[in-house]
A = this chain, B = another copy of it.
Amino acid sequence: MDNQTRQVREAVSNVEKHFGELCQIFAAYVRKTARLRDKADLLVNEIYAYAATETPSLKLGLKNFADEFSKLQDYRQAEVERLEAKVVDPLKSYGTIVKLKRDDLKATLTAKNREAKQLSQLERTRQRNPSDRHIIAESDLQRASMDATRTSRQLEETIDNFEKQKIKDIKSIFSEFITIEMLFHGKALEIYTAAYQNIHTIDENDDLEVFRSSLYPPDYQSRLDIVRANSKSPLQRTGSSKFSSGIIQQISNSRLRKEEEEDEEEEEDDDELEATKEER
């Protein structure tokens, strides 16, 4: 095996090796992106759950934020699918391409070597018998030389195509990666701009009014009024009139028990998370 043959084979092996590694790491990158989306989905659900228990302005602000954040996760899902289709899959299919190219090169290299051998043999024959076998050797040498040149040019072409295609593919794969990522980051900026407004417009004073009125139901207020009416010197009570109407939330004991159970589950989750952390 001459230097050239070795060099071509090494070039193909190198591409095989690095495209394989790139494929694996890009796939891992995509998987981690999908896991990030999973956690973001959990966040969306938890924000909805928390918002449902809150006063109107906070409830609306958080719900709207969760709507936007959920939309962003749809874009992240699209990012994941596009990266798989346009980056991971093309790198994966390169394994097959490289194998075919390698067979192609092997055949051409074999022919080239066979012809080079034939050519040098003819040269030797001609030098040993310069007189009587001159005519035959001359035309044989000429044909062998032409064959060797043709096969060499064919090999050059095969290698050229391989190299050219490889660079084109690398360019296309990385361009796709960048485009897909940019699309996602652009959408993220757009969505977070809207989401910021949702959080910014939450009005703590509006919510405080509602919370107060839910805490001080009419029966409590009227009981105080009776005391005040019965006592001879009316108390100077101000600022509580706004608490007079209210909503009484019914809290059953079963619900309280349920919450305690959930707290225990949370602690278990915590342990699991810690365990996962330690595995790293």
A residues with a Cβ closer than 8 A to B are 2-4, 6-8, 10-11, 13-14, 17-18, 20-22, 24-29, 31-33, 35-36, 38-40, 42-43, 46-47, 49-50, 53, 55, 58, 61-62, 65, 119, 123, 126, 138, 141-142, 145-146, 148-149, 152-153, 156, 159-160, 163-164, 167-168, 170-171, 174-175, 178-179, 181-182, 185-186, 188-189, 192-193, 195-196, 199-200, 202, 204, 207-208, 211-212, 214-217, 220, 224, 227-228, 230-233, 235, 237, 239-240, 243, 248-249, 251, 256, 259, 262-263, 266, 269-270, 273, 277
Contacts of A262 in B (CB 8 A): 17
Contacts of A202 in B (CB 8 A): 167, 170-171
Nearest residue (CB) in B for A233 is B142
Instruction: List 7 interface pairs A-B (beta carbons < 8 Å), by A numbering.
Output: A13-B256, A21-B50, A164-B208, A167-B207, A170-B202, A171-B202, A182-B188
- CB of B141 within 8 A of CB of A24, answer no
The docked-state distance in angstroms from the alpha carbon of A249 to that of B153 is 21
- Known contacts: A22-B46, A39-B25, A142-B231. The answer to whether A167 contacts B266 by CB under 8 A is no
Nearest residue (CB) in B for A189 is B185
The docked-state distance in angstroms from the alpha carbon of A53 to that of B212 is 71
Contacts of A58 in B (CB 8 A): 167, 170
- CB of B18 within 8 A of CB of A123, answer no
Nearest residue (CB) in B for A203 is B167
Given A36-B36, A163-B208, A185-B188, 12 more pairs with CB closer than 8 A: A14-B53, A21-B266, A22-B50, A28-B39, A55-B163, A142-B235, A145-B227, A149-B237, A159-B215, A163-B204, A164-B204, A179-B196
Q: How far is the CB of A9 from chain B (nearest CB, A)?
A: 9
- CB of B224 within 8 A of CB of A13, answer no
Q: How far is the CB of A232 from chain B (nearest CB, A)?
A: 6
The docked-state distance in angstroms from the alpha carbon of A235 to that of B119 is 14
The docked-state distance in angstroms from the alpha carbon of A89 to that of B154 is 66
- Residue in A13, A22, A189, A266 with the greatest tally of chain B CB atoms within 10 Å: A189
Total identical chains? 2
- Known contacts: A160-B208, A168-B204. The answer to whether A215 contacts B28 by CB under 8 A is no
The docked-state distance in angstroms from the alpha carbon of A35 to that of B25 is 12
Q: How far is the CB of A155 from chain B (nearest CB, A)?
A: 9
- CB of A36 within 8 A of CB of B25, answer no
The docked-state distance in angstroms from the alpha carbon of A35 to that of B34 is 11
Contacts of A164 in B (CB 8 A): 204, 208
